[in-house]
């Protein structure tokens, strides 16, 4: 098992209200020439958590930070126009995100201080919400 010490949260940058499966994202990423989906977990609009790339393998979701992290992606993250960053998380997605993050923390002994949003490492809007503020809100 690789050494895992952090969780990085993403959005799929797909329009609000459009549900997308892990299988579809896997197709998109394979079309880019990758060998598998870049994220380890996908959270659908209804809160269903789908497995992406096996956790044992490094993901492809955050340049320079893939080796020791787990990539979690919620579906959404932009407004209906398809480009304006927006926190589109449904209540179900918020609930699932919290449960999943806690499970991963317990399983891999990840400190709450090691949970990040993609935008903390890249000049992007992803995941379209402030992960540090969210952690405080949910008392992680």
Q: Restricting to residues 44-103, which ones interact with Zn ion according to CB under 5 A?
A: none
10 binds Zn ion (CB under 5 A): yes
In the complex with Zn ion, the residue whose CB is nearer, 110 or 131, is 131
Q: Which is nearest to 14 in space by CA: 45, 59, 48?
A: 45
Q: Which of 55, 70, 78, 126 binds Zn ion (CB under 5 A)?
A: 126
Q: Please state the closest distance from residue 33 (CB atom) to Zn ion, in A.
A: 18
Shortest CB 11 distance to Zn ion, Å: 7
Give whichever of 55 and 126 is closer to Zn ion, judged by the CB atom.
126
Report whether 100 contacts 41 (CB < 8 A): yes
In angstroms, what is the minimal distance from the CB of 70 to Zn ion? 13
Catalytic residue ranges: 10, 39, 118, 124, 126
> Dihedral, CA atoms, 4, 5, 9, 12, nearest 10 degrees?
-20
Q: Is 7 in the site for Zn ion (CB under 5 A)?
A: no
Q: Is 118 in the site for Zn ion (CB under 5 A)?
A: yes
C-beta closer to Zn ion: residue 12 or 106: 12
In the complex, the residues that contact Zn ion under the rule CB under 5 A are 10, 118, 126
């Amino acid at each position: 098992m690789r050494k895992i010490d952090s969780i990085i949260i993403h959005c799929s940058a797909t329009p609000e209200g459009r549900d997308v499966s892990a299988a579809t994202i896997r197709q998109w990423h394979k079309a880019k020439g990758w060998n598998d989906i870049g994220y380890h977990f996908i959270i659908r609009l209804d809160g269903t958590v789908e497995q992406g790339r096996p956790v044992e393998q490094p993901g492809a979701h955050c340049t320079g930070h893939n080796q020791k992290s787990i990539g979690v992606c919620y579906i959404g993250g932009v407004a209906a126009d398809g480009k304006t960053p927006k926190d589109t998380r449904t209540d179900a997605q918020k609930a699932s995100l919290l449960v999943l993050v806690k499970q991963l923390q317990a399983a891999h002994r990840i400190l709450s201080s090691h949970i990040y949003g993609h935008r903390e490492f890249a000049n992007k809007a992803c995941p379209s919400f402030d992960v540090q503020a969210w952690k405080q809100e949910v008392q992680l």
